[in-house]
A and B are shown apart, each in its own frame.
Chain A
């Protein structure tokens, strides 16, 4: 048979058509898709024995209990610890990625020394060189030697004060948010110091929030929201922006940015005039007190804050002096605290409403706590209160602070030739401005003690180390010992050579005091007095337990929180009921705009935007891709303002404050008040999305940066 050319073409054509209808092409497609998905550079998850461990999240003062899933001892997942007291299984987005922080791309692996001038260039150095240079600077400086303790309440605070107590002109500095939280300010309103105060959330049935980040970093956000949903807690929130807290509040009352004080004063006046003041409230000169509030009429409050009389009356009517109402300010963890005058005005409401002794209780002091070591010898001060140019050497420990410190404010406090040393696991934020960077242990690589929020009952958890920290990590206590040796300073009271030892000492002190209760998830609470030994306490805390102090019973019953005039005896000299001059606050109007800056920049971001050390790469990714919490390169502006200012969202705009400018794009957002720019804080680091930090637009002489005069021009 002769095969023609036509036959050949038919055979080939038929074969091609037949192949199309056969499984072969599909098999090839499938196999090729499989073959092209297996490459040596794609990581394969390691296997190992699965286990679950309880620990604590050290990233912020909420100090939430966490349940850690481990594979072969390596943490692979973190979730909230169910049944944990004051938390109810809640964990924020930052905490959900805490186990990734040991591999943060900006992790510091060796001591670094700054080289060159302005640009942040560093070179590796030895710890001996670092100790030598820091000791020399301490020896030679004419200024104050200070340590910035970002997270007061840790045992490290005691070690810091002990070290500083060996030298004159020293102090411990703390971020403004730590000392201008609600309860520390309320404490200052008393003639006789009632000791540390705490909000007893189990008692509170109504919260009046003044831009308080109740669901974004204040105390126990999970507890607050769950109590709200159970109908056991009402929340009235006065706030300019519809924040997440405002969104969830029973009533959000929008106010003009920066006018919390005016609202608080107006509300106080209304309570006084309507007689809804607690009988327990006393004041040396009540007439003068009332007179101070008299100018804050509803009309004036409306003019200043934009809250009409009907709304203010509605809120005032809902507040009864039952002692179960508490007013909270605080401010955003990233955006900074309220000014002291604002917070004080808010806290007066707690006095008027009789919160003392009920919703707010005094805490028993703990004797011999290593965390309080040398507190009588070394002063603790708000960073903003230190004279400009006075700090000769500053060792900054903001690693697990949960609070922001703007560089312009810190820079202003430094002496011209001052030395800044940063103790940090991550080269970001203030570390970028330091002369020396000392690597410390990131979260989940070493044990950390985790004290709770300054507004809540004193508590303590222990965060465990799951991953080896690495030889390069420096124990801050060891660094202080080396510095002490170089300077000839002998540390005294606690005499511990390492952080672990100091924590053991603290547990001994807690056990000795026998105060409070230890809660372990899934088990009955155990009174400290019933625990046999400090070692047992340690094992309970290592198992994810939480120690919480016992709150003193009704402080006002034992000792009047605010002395009434008739309480003063002849032997005691007459004194004002409050050391803080309320009259001056009442007379002071809220600040206006600065010439040339016709808008407000509101800085926020919550606890997740306080420091680079708190941001896992996966959290940065989620923010980058979701836009849920935009980075600092996005300015959220009210659509009406966008239209009136001709701000085209597709162009780049320069947001300026008197301190500087950063470039952003505009995103219309109707939850932002007209005339305002809302921007999230952005911890600076080497990552590509770090474009600029609105926090660094703060005024160097300012005491807060939550609201800055601003303008927008095309970039």
Chain B
């Protein structure tokens, strides 16, 4: 369990406010401040102190500096970069046009194949008697139901077996109010093997190019990635990786493949580990 008082007294918050921390350490402070009001209060107060310092020492620069700085801003931010950007957009358009032509060609070939095979199916089907067709359809439907049922039963059994692991601790991850209040999942942490399983109950589908990432916050307050996953609506519990120690689990939406430290504004669900 993290000692909040000791954490605050370590001075890490002051260093955070002064922008002196590494990306990882910064993420750690932000992560903890979403969970512990004492930490977020300390961050707020340190920001006030910093502003206070600036106010106490405020000194007017010489008046002509205002115009000089404005001119230098206009020169320094000349739209050279913007022109480069437009050029690259132009290139992208040309290749997009090319790929459109390819798409049309592929679509045309597919259409021809589809028409051909439909015709063949029609010919074959018409040779079967109505009864034979019905039996075939019923058989297929039956097989599908059995297969679905077996899969579902397997999933339920597998899911239950995870929850029933002798050293498993279940942590409820609730939706972050500003991001996705409806979302919910259970993290099952097998303290014997260290494996962390995620049983997602509700979470929006991840957009293309993005994946969800599960984090454990270690007992030292450090966010460590457990693994990434897609939210495709499947009901199966997924094993994402291992966690040695944990005071909290959280899920953020990141670029596909995951990132080194969590993006706090993209946190969807989180839950404290009861010790």
Q: Report whether chain A binds chain B.
A: no
B interface residues (Cβ-Cβ under 8 A, vs A): none
